[in-house]
Every structure is written in structure tokens, then in C-alpha cells.
Structure 1
Amino acid sequence: MALTPSNMLPLGTTAPSFTLIDTITDKPISLEHTKGTHGTVVMFICNHCPFVIHVNEGIVKLANDYQAKGIGFVAISSNDVVNYPADAPYLMKLNAQKHQFPFPYLYDETQEVAKSYDAACTPDFYIFDNDSKLVYRGQLDDSRPNNGIPVTGNDIRTALDALLNGEKISESQKPSIGCGIKWIQ
């Protein structure tokens, strides 16, 4: 498996709008619906990627810790489900239920949302402020499957804490690394 890093969308970019089907509720969910009062975390994930599987519990804990503080969360899967059937929407729903996702898990069938965010890998993380401007993009933390470093979410937690405290978020941000998004051919 080849490792793919984030493309690192320019800071200050306005969050691209979307409306996608939430695989948990089967209802359309928009970016506006997922926004928090203080900011929003947009995550590109999938069911089968070992890098995502490695951090699933960590992203659930992160969302549970920060949603009460006014941070919205949404996860999106944009993988080609014809060639990667483990990422099919009905399995996304089962995965979300298994891990008790406290956020919508949306299916980007056309891959247009992933392209608009310049998403490259799973997991890929973006934090937008309350004006929908990008303030962080990159890794959850330094943990990777089999590297022995525990999943803490430190990089995103540091950025979210700075956002909530009105402090400047460091522009020195490490790209996320994972499986490349499975693009439709």
C-alpha cells in the first residue's frame, strides 16, 4: 500500500459547500447543517483504510470532547465503491454504528466534494473557523498503524484549543498520511 500525504489546501480557503446523503440517517446533510458555532472539522475517511481504522476511536473521542464546546464535525467517504465495495454506503452506516460516530458520515458518490477540498488521502482533516475559513489541515497526530505512538489527536486538539481561545493557530502543520482516495476511473 502506497502512502499518500495531504495536499495541504491553502490556509484561509473558504469551506466548499456541499449537500450529501448521511449514511446513518439516509437524509441529505449540508455543510451549513454540520457547522459548529465556533468552527467545523471536516474529515475524509473510509471504512477499509488501515490508517482510518487505527484512528476511529480517536476521532470519536475528539468529536465527543469538542462538540459540546461548539465545534461541528462531519465525516465524508469519497471512495469508488465499485472497485472498493467495503466502502459502500450500507457498510458506512454499519461502521458508524459500530464505532458510535457522534457526527454524520456522508457519502460523496460523485467525488466532487473531495475534489473541491483537494482531499488526497484517508484520513484527511480540515478545520474551519466560524467564518468558514480554513485554519488547519493535516494530521490528527503522529500515530500510525504499528509505529507504537498512541492516538491522542494532539495536533488537531492543539489547533482546536487555539481556535476556541482566540489564539493564532501555528501555520506549521504536518500533512496527514494514509491511503489515497480511491478515484473513479
Structure 2
Amino acid sequence: MLTLVVSPWSLAQIHAGEFNTTVNIGDTAPDWNDLPGTDDQPHSLDDLKDKKVVVVAFTCSSCPYAVDAEDRLIALQEKFADENVAVIAINVNKVEEDLMPAMKQRAAEKKFNFPYLFDESQQIAKAFGAKYTPEFFVLDKNRKIVYMGSLDDSPDGKNVSEPHVIRAIEAALAGEKPAVTETVPIGCRIRFERNLRNRSR
């Protein structure tokens, strides 16, 4: 008799997305609680329960790709300001140029019109399966992931022809599934801390 053994890792792969090894389209978005923002206030996903759509952008202050996306993020929030859409930026890098003082300076210089949060534990990025800055997730009113990947088809924001996140937001507001649900994120690798084991000799 043939017995099929499926490891938990294999199951994770089965249920993961095409380019994301942790979550898939249709999954309930991971929750976050009391993450500090550049406004010195704690922020939780539950704070956004009245929003029709939430856009989660994993970003930072040091990556050129993330910096190139800042103006488009500001424009994105402005575009949907009257449609009950929230843009949330989250940074998990722990190098000096990405710590809260640098985040506050960047938020003030650029006049961010969206919360910019810091997760020292880095767990929220791991829960989303985010590996790059910038990397985007669009959540519908039920907080299901309807899109994940890149902001658009132009890493530097020039000559954008496929505004993936905008189209995903519009589809979610209409109660529809986006035509494109997943793309390859392009950016700098998130700087996850390595857990080094103590090896006995």
C-alpha cells in the first residue's frame, strides 16, 4: 500500500502564491497590532475596519526602488482619498538608515499622507511573505488578499503602462476580482535578521 507523506513545508507551498511562498490570493491578511508610526501613535489593522480597501506597502527609507515609489504612494492615497481606501506603509529593516528617526525625517520631508509604521520584530513582513521593498498587498473589505506584488510595471515610475495596484483597488471597490492578481515584486531585499544558533564543539 502506497502511503503519501506530505510535509508542512510542502503544504505551505501548495497554498502559497505563484511568487509568494507564504500567502496566496484569497487568504485572510495577517493582522498587526500596536505598531509604532512616525506620528508617535500605535497602529493596528483593526483601526481600519471601516475602510473598504487597504493597501499594505512594505517599504523603507534606504532602498532606491522604495524611494522611487514614494511620490506614487502619495499620489495613490490622494487618488482614492474620497473612496475610503487606506494606504499603510510598513518598514521592518533595522539598519540605522531605516530606524524610526530616519523614518520620521523622511515622512516629514515628503509630507507622507499615509501612516508609516515600524515593526522591530519583523514578524509582519514574514507573515505576509514579503521579501522586497517596495512590495504591495491589496486587501478587500473582508481583508482578503486580492493582489500582491509590484506597484506597477515601472520600477522607477517612468512610462507606467500597467498600474497594478490602482487596478486592483478599483476592482476591489467594485466587488470584483482584479484581472491581474499577482506580479513579481521588484526592489531591494528586506534585511531580515539571521538567527544564529550556538554550535557546541
Partner of 1:158: 167
Of 44, 49, 52 in structure 1, the residue corresponding to residue 66 of structure 2 is 52
Partner of 1:109: 120
Cα gap change, 1:6 to 1:102, in 2 (>3 Å): farther
Partner Cα distance (2:22, 2:162) in 1: 18
Rg (Cα) greater in structure: 2
Partner of 1:182: 191
Identity %: 34
Aligned residue type for 1:58 = R
Structure 1 position 71 matched with structure 2 position 85: yes
Q: How large is the RMSD of aligned CA atoms in angstroms? A: 2.0
Structure 1, gaps ≥5 residues long: none
The alignment's TM-score, normalised by the length of structure 2, stands at 0.80
Of 105, 109, 114 in structure 2, the residue corresponding to residue 98 of structure 1 is 109
Partner Cα distance (2:187, 2:141) in 1: 28
Structure 1 position 167 matched with structure 2 position 176: yes
Is contact 2:94-2:191 (8 Å) kept?
yes
Is contact 1:76-1:107 (8 Å) kept?
yes
Cα gap change, 1:172 to 1:12, in 2 (>3 Å): closer
Deviation at 1:35, TM superposition (A): 4.6
Count matched residues: 176
The alignment's TM-score, normalised by the length of structure 1, stands at 0.87
Partner of 1:26: 40
Structure 2, gaps ≥5 residues long: 1-18, 195-201
Of 147, 150, 155 in structure 2, the residue corresponding to residue 144 of structure 1 is 155
Is contact 1:7-1:120 (8 Å) kept?
no
Q: Which has the higher contact order (CA 8 A, sep 6+)?
A: 1
Is contact 2:22-2:128 (8 Å) kept?
no
Higher strand share: 1
- Higher deviation after alignment, 99-108 or 5-14: 5-14
Deviation at 1:20, TM superposition (A): 3.8
Cα gap change, 1:117 to 1:24, in 2 (>3 Å): same
Cα gap change, 1:99 to 1:150, in 2 (>3 Å): farther
Partner Cα distance (1:6, 1:26) in 2: 32
SS in 2 for 1:161: helix
Partner of 2:146: 135
SS in 2 for 1:177: coil
